Structure 1
């Protein structure tokens, strides 16, 4: 188990220690659940009252909160407790699952694979013809990487994920369990005889930038003609669907169960709330924020906050809901 003194933790956070504690800190925890060997967080004044009953020996606290830690307890005061929390969690990250050998004997690695130094491939993996793996790529057990795919340095792909042929994944990416990269897009047309559906071939691929994270059971479909593109730094939650030929700019966020239909374009820094749906060929400008559960049917300019089904500007949506609430009360 990892443990640190309050002084060692502050070396990482570079805050200001108020009070003192000799207690060795074994990990972080919420205010209500912390034990006397744990450190907690106070990022908002509304949580101040919980400090009195918390058993935590220490807390990371916003510098603008006026509070005394008490006997044998300490604060580390920082500018932003949320960011400091992320830095603290890095100290306590458990060791990753171990590989007894770099390439497990039950992995199937084609003779034409090009592999950098430090790669690890787990049991049951399949790595196909002409795949290129950069340095320190990790493929956990039962990962599939099909022919002519390229994966950049220091990328980790967790168990059960499938990367189809000809895809390109950048460096420092994380692909979580059972994600699907490069499956066929959802393209069908009525057959000429009117008795069925004609499948539209998808001959493109998926290009994923650097520092991208894709959650468990999420799907990124291949392009119909060219590529579905995920920009550098994008973070995609679990159970997210990204349709064929969609293009995401840099550092976009998509929360769980949200989805892009085909040929959607997102600018840089777009945030899509949980269960929101973006219709095909819609363009969202830089910094657009889409509220959870919204249905977006039209284009929106940079910086807009939109909400509802169909989505409108957030303030307008809230006004509509107030009117509907009043009508509902009047009809009783």
Structure 2
């Protein structure tokens, strides 16, 4: 088990040590569950009140925290406790699952596929014709990568992922279990003779570098060209991205949110959990869509929208206040 002194941890964080402790730190834990050999964090002044009841001997805290750590306890003060805590978690992270052999005997790899140096492929994987997999890619058991796909260097693909034909994934990406890249877009049209006619989806998916896609999420292939996920985007679990949608760089989509077809997100857009975005909508750079909102029209850069249908946040809050007042008058 890894164990660190406060000084060793602070050598990574480069914060200011307040107080002293005889305890070594064996793991991180949330404030209310921590014991004396664990480190926690306080990211905002409103959580100061929980420190005295906690048994943690060390906490990473923002510089604004005004309380003292107390006897045999330490604060490590930093500019941003959330970011610093991510460094602490890296210190204590356990090793990834081990591959006894770089390429498992049960993996099926087409002779035309190209696997560059350092690639690892787990049991039960299928890699199709014309696939190119870059250096040091890790593919865990039971992954399917169909024909003519490319996977960039140092990408990690967890078990159960399916990457359909002709899709392209950049470097340093992470695809979590059971994500699906390149499923058919949802395209049907009514026909008097045949009922609902399926519209062929002949495009693909192009994913940039440093993208993370959560478990059970689906990125549909384009009907004509490409569904595009820009560099650095972070997609939570159970997210739906419809065909021919285009995400700019560093967008965030929280769990159970969804984009219909041909949605465009600018750079740095944030979509809250369970939010729904109508087809052919454009959400410009830096805009935020609140959790559970339904967006039916374009959203200008830098604003926050809330509600169903979504409107600018201040307007939504005024509407809710009026409704609450009306309800109280009628009761």
Please tell me the TM-score bracket, short chain as reference: over 0.9
Question: What SS does the aligned partner of 1:182 have?
Answer: strand
Question: What SS does the aligned partner of 2:261 have?
Answer: coil
Is the aligned partner of 1:283 residue 2:282? Answer: yes
* Residues 224-267 of structure 1: CA deviation (Å, up to 9, x unaligned): 01000000000000000000000000000000000000000000
Q: Check whether the contact 2:45–2:64 (CA below 8 A) recurs between aligned residues.
A: no
**Structure 1 range deviating more: 46-55 or 150-159:** 46-55
| Alpha-carbon distance in structure 2 between the residues aligned to 1:292 and 1:30 | 24
| Alpha-carbon distance in structure 2 between the residues aligned to 1:187 and 1:66 | 57
Report the CA distance between 1:331 and its aligned residue: 2.1
Gaps of 5+ in 2: none
Q: Which residue number corresponds to residue 198 of structure 2?
A: 199
| Alpha-carbon distance in structure 2 between the residues aligned to 1:46 and 1:286 | 31
Report the CA distance between 1:18 and its aligned residue: 1.3
| Alpha-carbon distance in structure 1 between the residues aligned to 2:324 and 2:46 | 29
Is the aligned partner of 1:52 residue 2:52? Answer: yes
* Residues 262-284 of structure 1: CA deviation (Å, up to 9, x unaligned): 00000000000011011000001
Question: What SS does the aligned partner of 2:61 have?
Answer: strand
| Alpha-carbon distance in structure 1 between the residues aligned to 2:127 and 2:43 | 46
Q: Which residue number corresponds to residue 331 of structure 1?
A: 330
Report the CA distance between 1:298 and its aligned residue: 0.5
Q: Which runs of 4 or more aligned residues in structure 1 lie more than 2 Å from their structure 2 counterparts after TM superposition?
A: none
| Alpha-carbon distance in structure 2 between the residues aligned to 1:245 and 1:217 | 19
| Alpha-carbon distance in structure 2 between the residues aligned to 1:262 and 1:318 | 29
Report the CA distance between 1:135 and its aligned residue: 0.5
Is the aligned partner of 1:152 residue 2:152? Answer: yes
Report the CA distance between 1:192 and its aligned residue: 4.2
**Residue pairs, 1:1-332, within 5 angstroms:** 1-193=1-193, 195-332=194-331
| Alpha-carbon distance in structure 1 between the residues aligned to 2:324 and 2:7 | 54
Report the CA distance between 1:93 and its aligned residue: 1.1
Question: What SS does the aligned partner of 1:316 have?
Answer: helix
Report the CA distance between 1:157 and its aligned residue: 0.5
Report the CA distance between 1:74 and its aligned residue: 1.3
Report the CA distance between 1:191 and its aligned residue: 1.9
| Alpha-carbon distance in structure 1 between the residues aligned to 2:107 and 2:198 | 34
C-alpha RMSD of the superposition:
0.9
**Structure 1 range deviating more: 138-147 or 23-32:** 23-32
Question: What SS does the aligned partner of 2:51 have?
Answer: helix
Question: What SS does the aligned partner of 1:53 have?
Answer: coil
**Structure 1 range deviating more: 143-152 or 314-323:** 314-323
Report the CA distance between 1:66 and its aligned residue: 2.0
| Alpha-carbon distance in structure 2 between the residues aligned to 1:314 and 1:320 | 10
Number of equivalent positions: 331
| Alpha-carbon distance in structure 1 between the residues aligned to 2:224 and 2:49 | 58
Question: What SS does the aligned partner of 1:153 have?
Answer: coil
TM-score norm. by structure 2 comes to 0.98
Report the CA distance between 1:22 and its aligned residue: 2.6
* Residues 30-61 of structure 1: CA deviation (Å, up to 9, x unaligned): 11110110011112222222221211111111
Question: What SS does the aligned partner of 2:50 have?
Answer: helix
* Residues 151-183 of structure 1: CA deviation (Å, up to 9, x unaligned): 000000100010000000000000000000000
Q: Check whether the contact 2:134–2:151 (CA below 8 A) recurs between aligned residues.
A: yes
Gaps of 5+ in 1: none
